[in-house]
Amino acid sequence: DGGITQSPKYLFRKEGQNVTLSCEQNLNHDAMYWYRQDPGQGLRLIYYSQIVNDFQKGDIAEGYSVSREKKESFPLTVTSAQKNPTAFYLCASSIGLSVNTGELFFGEGSRLTVL
């Protein structure tokens, strides 16, 4: 079945460590996104990518990095510079780049906890 796969589902990190969250899609979508969700809040955009080898910062990019070397893959690295990384992270993709094709397809999320 087509969809988005995020891994790991749960991740624990010590302070000062970088961690990478995986996101793979087999929907042949051009655009991919990373969102952060804190308890009781909506989603905030971290980074997004419209094509391979290109990505843009979202609203809360500080302390995060991404790459887009393949169309199917958009990994997110949470660096030690991120002051409050404990959160639920959602990866998404969409078919196109206009408001009329903007439905987002989401993975099941990765829950990161900093010990």
How crowded is residue 39: how many other Cβ atoms within 10 Å of its Cβ? 7
DSSP string, 7-30: E-SEEEE-TT--EEEEEEE-S--S
Sole window of 11-19, 20-28, 36-44, 73-81 interacting with other proteins (rule: CB under 8 A) = 36-44
Peptide bond into 8 cis (omega under 30): yes
Residue 11 or 45: the one with the smaller Cβ distance to other proteins is: 45
Is 102 an interacting residue with respect to other proteins (CB under 8 A)?
yes
Residue 63 or 109: the one with the smaller Cβ distance to other proteins is: 109
The H or E element containing residue 53 is none
Q: Site residues (CB under 8 A) for other proteins? A: 31, 33, 35, 40-45, 48, 50, 56, 58, 88, 90, 92, 94, 97-100, 102-109, 111
